[in-house]
Structure 1
Amino acid sequence: MKQQFKRFRVRTVAAVAALAFAANTWAVDPFTVRDIRVEGLQRVEPGTIFASLPFRVGDQYNDDKGSAAIRALFALGLFKDVRLEVNGDVLVVVVEERPTVADVDFAGTREFDKDTLKKALREIGLTEGRPYDQALADRAEQELKRQYINRSLYGAEVVTTVTPIERNRVNLTFTVTEGEPTRIRDIHIVGNRVFSEKELLGQMELDTGGWLSWYTKSDRYSRTKLNADLETLKSYYLQRGFLEFRIDSTQVAISPNKQDISVTVNITEGERYVVTGVKLEGDYLGKEDEFKSLVKIRAGEPYNADQVAETTKAFTEYFGNFGFAFAQVEARPEVDRATNRVAFTLVAEPSRRAYVRRINIAGNNRTRDEVIRREFRQFESSWYDAEKIKLSRDRIDRVGFFKEVNVETSDVPGAPDQVDLNITVEERPTGSLQLGAGFSSAEKLALSFSIKQENVFGTGHYLGVEVNTSKYNRTLAFNSVDPYFTADGISRTVDLYYRTSRPYDEMGGNYQLVTAGVGTRFGIPFSETDTVFFGGTLERTEIEPGTNIPAAYLAYGERFGYVSTSIPLSVGWTRDDRDSSVTPSRGRYQRFSGEWGVAGDARYLRSNYQYQQYVPLNKQFTFAFNGELGWGVGLQDRPYPVFKHFYSGGLGSVRGFEQGTLGPRDPTGSSIGGPRKVTLNAEVITPFPGAGNDKSLRMFGFVDIGNVFGEHQKVSFSDMRASAGVGLSWLSPIGPLRIAFAQPIRTKPGDKIQKMQFQIGTSF
């Protein structure tokens, strides 16, 4: 063999095989590399090759370095074949690139949308533009099957089709045969003595199916759901005194055809324990009395794990109010098994004070960071304050842009006295199309709608356009709100509207009221929950006579003119400490508004007060109360303007009666409203049966009482109308939907009944 030309060749399809083959290649005498050439590249940069080689031009080459070079190049994952050729003192690196994934597509997928599956494959490294190999395709198939197993589709089959295309690229198509979902055939609990199996199964989300399973998918097995149910089962026992309750094991059996699953849970209940006492130990910062007032554990009552958890949480949060973010509170039980009694010692260690280094925000894909940060009352580089952090979380939730708001604390490595706050939000659709409809024998179907965006371009601004085309009311209104018109949180609202309306009647009258106006108002925050509003409006109202016009309208027009121009000034106040503006479960909301016609043809005072209270009865049930009072009076020897009357009836007031038909009536039979209004609503809200604790779909039972009264009419409870019924609320993609079926329980002759009503966008 001539020394001028020596060649050795290594060919493999995997790195391990390459190493084994390289060990047996022809030996090459060491030589000094004068030049390195690379052949076979299509997309990979030559610099990638040179950076991976363990030698450079001018270095000594030998077999060991050749083997190392092959290992390094295969480790890049970019090549399916590598050869090293020696031509004199020139080293030639010959590579064959792996094909690149040009496109990933799916066929036969109904359970998932393609974007979800592409995201799952992207997380394992398979996406457009990445090198392709069979091992990666196999991993992709397993990942897709795992996704389907999580949806209880155990029989799903995946077939991969690889289609080569030009420029060494491939298209991947995953054809999925989903099959039928695997259903839970039966669930058994073994070892229960005190509570029946039916009662325990009623606490679990998983079940054997029901009429709503198509929506809840509660009969589809998932390990995550089962673990959650086991925790619920454990909590159920621990809340009722069973201190030593445990879950011994769970067995999940799947049928040979992968269509049925059986679940068996083995438990040991233990004995029921009663609490005998609670005492404090440790450092309580000299505030033992304050901490004792936070104790939820009650002596003489059965042990309740929730009370213990609430107590330790309250202690930890109270320590946090003084900057002790790392406070540790341990509830140590002293168990007397002979008498089935337990005493608790609450041991506290405040640890060290900390301050907040940084506030991190995640999940706001649309909403700008500043919209969230301006609601925060805990500042960076300030002492940690748990009360301010909770207030901040509630304020962010109350803006109404998010389904969930979570705040977590994380340590700062190397800084024992610092923490970071991580705020994670889940955005909800803030643009909505609001619809309203009602059915009656007179009007048949009445429709109204509005388009609004509560978070324009993620700035937190509100922009709304309302259009109402119902038989009795037609509206074109524009409304804009800048909640932070100034950096101090002063808001500005601009209203522009044009309305034509007439009271409800069945006589076919063609008279109407035409109101046009423009106004602005400002809101000044006086505290974290209180805001005061003031502003002014320029308004023009015209009474257009027509057939069957009420006598009250004619009398007012004849005496004061059919066209009234007024300049009302407005003042208002709100206080909102609810835990959520979208689905509140606790807290209070109050609102007062006053309007004073100081100039123009109409002189009057008009006020309205609303009070809402939400009380959690337990984790699932919430009691809600709403009360609203309206009052108006004329000034300067003038009657109260008829076009400023309040109306009642329908959604938002007394359900079961046609919208706006309660109260005084004209001799023509038209409902003309009145200057005084009383509305009382009570609701008990619960998750929809079969929907678990899903707050987006809930049902409620309600009782409504209220009416509208004339200027010289006495406000009397005996004249109020009442109704009761049930309803459904759903946070739909186009806004909150409420459907109510009401049965009037107090009526008067002539009342217009409307038992079924629904609206998208109403709140109470």
Structure 2
Amino acid sequence: MLAALLLLVAGVQAAEFDVADIRVEGLQRIAAGTIFNYLPVQVGDRVSDGITGNIIRTLYATGFFSDVRVEREGDVLIVVVRERPAIAQIDITGNKSLKTDKLKEGLADIGMSEGRVFNPVMLDRIEQELRRQYFGAGKYGVEIESTVSPLERNRVAVRIAIGEGRTARIKQVNIIGNEAFTEKELLKQFDLGTTKWHSFYTKNDQYSKQKLGGDLEALRSFYLDRGYVNFKITSTQVSISPDKDGMYVTVAIDEGDVYQVKDIKLAGQPSVPVEELFPLIHLRRGEDFSRSKATESAERISELLGSEGYAFANVNAVPEIDEEAKEVTITFFIDPGKRVYVRRVNMEGNTRTRDVVLRREMRQLERAWFSTELVKRSRERLQRLGYFEDVTIETPAVPGLADQVDVDVTVKEKPSGNLLAGVGFSQSQGLLLNASVTQNNFLGTGKRVSFAVNTSRSAQLYRLAYTNPYFTIDGISRGFDLTYRATDFDDLTGADYSTDIGLAEMNFGLPISDTMRAGLGFRYQYTRFFPGGASLLAQDFVDANGDTFNDFFLTASYTKDSRDSAIFPTRGTLQRVFGEVAVPGSDLQYYRLNVQGRQYIPLTQRFTFAVRGDLGYGASYGDTPQLPFFENFYAGGPRSVRGYDAYTLGPREVDGDQDPVGGNLKLTGGLEVYAPPPFGGDFENTVRLGAFLDVGNVWWTESEPLVDRTGFDLGELRYSTGLSFAWLSPVGALSLSLAYPLNSEDEDETQIFQFSFGQTF
């Protein structure tokens, strides 16, 4: 009897036994099946002291339990557990610089989230994780206090109180050991630095270990690109002031000596003529060694081999250093591998768009050499179609063949039809009502069909258009356009006349390259002119020419577009040249030419510098004495010279209200620097803030007694400067400008604040 009692108390530690059954006690939330998955013993196994210890260690290691015991009741193994509490809620207070969601994401990465099992040991990890995030934001004086409150049903509430403190600013950055370059010149390579006027935006004065690492690499590249082959960063010290508000960075360097290029060699099997490779190497014998030039030269050679079918070519630039002579011999080792061919081009994901629409954009063809450049151009052309949200191209090797690949094109289609209706407002045109139905990929054929209606206080537009981008297999497009436009210049510019214009046009487009295109068209235009009683210029024009005109035009255009985006581009060029001439036999005989240019240059990762110019000229010929003044160019307003009222710059009528009448010569342009807002987030791709300088005017170059200030004079150019805001909002495009005219005259109509909403900007 005593032996039996001792056996019951000691459990399984008294003797080995065969397990007939396993019972788990103490579970509340965790399923018994979870325990059985972790148990290192099953029914029928023989249990000894060593195995019971392993059971306890295994269950503890799950982190689910605060206590585990193993007992025995006959041949039944009993596992008694005490569950750790679950986290019912996590409350974070005092955080201002970092959002709560971001902090909780960091906690979830270390296993602390609502619904998870709470482990007291994790409190230290929580505080360490939060400090890590705040240190990354430059707040080294942060104080964190965590409390845990028990709740019913074995749950806890974790409350974290944060005292952020002030952001530590970089007070000083020192570079020691430099002799060839001044510290000021070297610090230009650093993004980090002391507080400047722009630090509120760039945050360059907030220390970050990652930023410092990038700056040190930029410093290393600076020296290696100037021949300092043995340049070293011997130490980096970062210290913080006692009040944890100031950071001090000291970088010690060893410059070494300058090495020149002694010789340039090619090794391996280039597979292309050597005379084609040496021009790609931008290093010269006798000049200072440059690591970036060597790397870029190797990349250019690799790209050339890739375009010749050697898709897996390997090119390495290996320097051989002569320490005594301070010279470097650079050898480009070339391993082209096998020439690779394309077996098939496969299309996937185009459920609506026909295969032929995709294949005619492909520059990489089947059974041809595989070319990385042609694959890249093919993807770019597919993306520019506008039919797809995403385009991916993979080039898997053909199984069993080392010299063949397939080109798998996968597209994700987006709706190519738009049904739009909107209301907008513009200071120059008043209330805007617009509606349009556009199908860019009509029935999956790639053809474009659109119908648009736009009305405002000053103008009404009705348009039906159709374009077939591949009228011929070579990519020549053909389009038709039917348009009716009524314009009241009294509401638009103050001039007392209006026009009704109807036109029918057929045009063709000829691709010159992937970024260039030429156009040719023929247009019939019906114009009805309505002179106002107060405009002597309009009455004089009607007396000389009549008020109804049937004209036939030849049009020609050239476009080059290498921008990386049609909206908010950051790099590239847009050039447009458009000319039209009324052919002999038309009621009015004149021509107009317009040249536009846009250049976008990335200054930094966020800032873009934009330059624009717009030149327009028109004149008459034959029996028409001068360019019809209702075909004149205008300047001023949000899309021209900001700070001046829209369409008001330039010559005016002599009599009456002296309304602006435009001119037959227009010259406008501007400089602008813009960037996304500093707060980023959802507005990173839809908002731009900018500072600009605008210039421009229009001139009436021919003599006209009813027009004041005729003749061309660059001294009449108007200038303005200011700030701009553009937002591609969910309900329409909004553009604002706050401009200050720099040289306005008494007769000019200035407008400091200008905006438009509901139009494309």
Q: TM-score, normalised by structure 2?
A: 0.73
Preserved contact between residue 665 and residue 701 of structure 2 (Cα < 8 Å): no
1:722 maps onto 2:717 in alignment: yes
**Alignment partners' CA distance in 2, 1:398 and 1:547:** 36
1:295 aligns with: 281
1:536 maps onto 2:523 in alignment: no
The amino acid across from 2:169 in the alignment is R
Secondary structure of 1:86 counterpart: strand
Preserved contact between residue 609 and residue 630 of structure 1 (Cα < 8 Å): yes
One of 316, 320, 344 as aligned partner of 2:302: 316
| 1:112 to partner: Cα distance | 0.8
Change (3 A) 1:382 1:536: same
**Alignment partners' CA distance in 1, 2:118 and 2:400:** 42
- Residues 30-109 of structure 1: pairs in structure 2 closer than 5 A: 30-109=16-95
Change (3 A) 1:205 1:758: farther
Preserved contact between residue 651 and residue 698 of structure 2 (Cα < 8 Å): no
1:228 maps onto 2:214 in alignment: yes
* Alpha-carbon displacement from aligned partner over 1:117-171 (angstroms, at most 9, x marks no partner): 1111122222222111112232222111100111111121222222332332222
Preserved contact between residue 572 and residue 601 of structure 2 (Cα < 8 Å): no
Preserved contact between residue 654 and residue 679 of structure 1 (Cα < 8 Å): no
Preserved contact between residue 590 and residue 609 of structure 1 (Cα < 8 Å): no
2:660 aligns with: 671
* Alpha-carbon displacement from aligned partner over 1:156-191 (angstroms, at most 9, x marks no partner): 122222233233222222211111112212111101
1:140 aligns with: 126
The amino acid across from 2:658 in the alignment is G
One of 659, 673, 694 as aligned partner of 2:646: 659
Q: Please, which moves more after superposition, 82-91 or 57-66?
A: 57-66
One of 548, 569, 572 as aligned partner of 1:587: 572
The amino acid across from 1:500 in the alignment is R
Secondary structure of 1:137 counterpart: helix
Q: Please, which moves more after superposition, 636-645 or 163-172?
A: 636-645
Secondary structure of 2:103 counterpart: helix
Change (3 A) 1:65 1:547: closer
Larger RCO, structure (CA 8 Å, separation 6 or more): 1
* Alpha-carbon displacement from aligned partner over 1:329-354 (angstroms, at most 9, x marks no partner): 22233445566554433222223556
- Residues 491-640 of structure 1: pairs in structure 2 closer than 5 A: 491-501=448-458, 514-522=459-467, 524=469, 534-539=479-484, 541=486, 543=488, 550-553=495-498, 556-557=529-530, 574-582=559-567, 584=569, 586-591=571-576, 609-612=594-597, 614=599, 624-629=611-616
Preserved contact between residue 266 and residue 333 of structure 2 (Cα < 8 Å): yes
1:681 maps onto 2:669 in alignment: yes
Q: Please, which moves more after superposition, 171-180 or 617-626?
A: 617-626
The amino acid across from 1:497 in the alignment is N
**Alignment partners' CA distance in 1, 2:389 and 2:289:** 34
One of 253, 269, 275 as aligned partner of 2:255: 269
1:704 maps onto 2:704 in alignment: no
**Alignment partners' CA distance in 2, 1:732 and 1:545:** 30
Structure 2 unaligned blocks of 5 or more? 346-354, 500-527, 532-541
Secondary structure of 1:188 counterpart: strand
The amino acid across from 1:286 in the alignment is V
Preserved contact between residue 578 and residue 593 of structure 2 (Cα < 8 Å): yes
The amino acid across from 1:315 in the alignment is I
**Alignment partners' CA distance in 1, 2:413 and 2:436:** 13
**Alignment partners' CA distance in 1, 2:688 and 2:549:** 46
Preserved contact between residue 138 and residue 206 of structure 2 (Cα < 8 Å): yes
**Alignment partners' CA distance in 1, 2:629 and 2:269:** 67
**Alignment partners' CA distance in 2, 1:725 and 1:526:** 46
The amino acid across from 2:377 in the alignment is L
The amino acid across from 1:537 in the alignment is L
| 1:704 to partner: Cα distance | 3.5
Q: Alignment RMSD, CA only?
A: 5.5
**Alignment partners' CA distance in 2, 1:280 and 1:206:** 40
1:750 maps onto 2:735 in alignment: no
Change (3 A) 1:716 1:288: farther
**Alignment partners' CA distance in 2, 1:318 and 1:259:** 53
The amino acid across from 1:324 in the alignment is Y
Change (3 A) 1:725 1:461: same
Change (3 A) 1:624 1:531: farther
The amino acid across from 1:36 in the alignment is I
* Alpha-carbon displacement from aligned partner over 1:359-410 (angstroms, at most 9, x marks no partner): 9xxxxxxxxxx9xx99987799997532135436756887999999999999
1:477 aligns with: 434
* Alpha-carbon displacement from aligned partner over 1:228-265 (angstroms, at most 9, x marks no partner): 11122222333334333322211111223322221111
| 1:649 to partner: Cα distance | 1.9
Change (3 A) 1:401 1:232: farther
Q: Please, which moves more after superposition, 546-555 or 46-55?
A: 546-555
Identity across the alignment (%): 33
- Residues 203-352 of structure 1: pairs in structure 2 closer than 5 A: 203-275=189-261, 278-335=264-321, 340-352=326-338
| 1:82 to partner: Cα distance | 2.0
Change (3 A) 1:461 1:238: farther
Change (3 A) 1:546 1:718: closer
Q: Please, which moves more after superposition, 240-249 or 311-320?
A: 240-249
Aligned length: 688
Preserved contact between residue 641 and residue 719 of structure 2 (Cα < 8 Å): no
Preserved contact between residue 516 and residue 539 of structure 1 (Cα < 8 Å): yes
Preserved contact between residue 557 and residue 576 of structure 2 (Cα < 8 Å): yes
| 1:81 to partner: Cα distance | 2.0
Preserved contact between residue 426 and residue 756 of structure 2 (Cα < 8 Å): no
Q: TM-score, normalised by structure 1?
A: 0.73
**Alignment partners' CA distance in 2, 1:721 and 1:736:** 31
One of 183, 186, 191 as aligned partner of 2:172: 186
